[in-house]
Amino acid sequence: MVISAQLPTPRLGPHPDRPSYRTQTTPPHTPMRPHWFCRSCGQPWPCAQSRLLLKAEYERKLPTLSIYLAGLMYEAMQDLYHLNPHDGPSPRELFDRFVAWGPFRRAVVSGAK
């Protein structure tokens, strides 16, 4: 008989292990959970360097990059709201941080009809 309480809880989204570029002298530009800061530079993840590395790594798989970023945004929402439910980032801030800079963003056109 299998008791469900003994089974591991499945992950909610993708494992944040990208960009995969590594050096032997510096930590990778991957997120440090649950605070979602860059392991290498300490900036909110995805930092500028990780964005460049992600775009290069997913150059021929842009839809995959968008799906990966959206999944990580969901993971970050879970973590950040759990840490600070009252003063956490807004959904719009997290969207801008994780997804809006990605490969399928649209330019804002002012005065267009």
Q: Is residue 11 part of a domain?
A: no
Q: CA 107, CA 29: separation in Å to the nearest integer? A: 27
Q: Contact, 19 vs 61, CB < 8 A?
A: no
Q: Is residue 21 part of a domain?
A: no
Query: Which phi-psi region, left, alpha or beta, contains residue 16 (left: φ > 0; alpha: ψ -120 to 50)?
Result: beta
Q: CA 36, CA 44: separation in Å to the nearest integer? A: 6
Q: CA 31, CA 60: separation in Å to the nearest integer? A: 23
pLDDT tens track for 40-97: 999 999 999 999 999 999 999 999 999 999 999 999 998 898 888 888 899 999 999 9
Confidence of residue 111 (pLDDT cuts 50, 70, 90): low
Q: Is residue 93 part of a domain?
A: yes
pTM: 0.73
Question: What is the domain range of residue 43?
Answer: 29-100
Q: How many structural domains are present in the chain? A: 1
Q: What is the pLDDT of residue 25?
A: 75
31-32 and 37-38 strand pairing: antiparallel
Confidence of residue 33 (pLDDT cuts 50, 70, 90): confident
Range from 18-27, 80-89, 91-100, 103-112 carrying the lowest mean pLDDT: 103-112
Q: What is the pLDDT of residue 3?
A: 52
Q: Is residue 18 part of a domain?
A: no
Confidence of residue 107 (pLDDT cuts 50, 70, 90): low
Q: Is residue 6 part of a domain?
A: no
Q: Is residue 9 part of a domain?
A: no
Q: Which value, in Å, is the radius of gyration of the alpha carbons in the chain?
A: 17
Q: Is residue 46 part of a domain?
A: yes
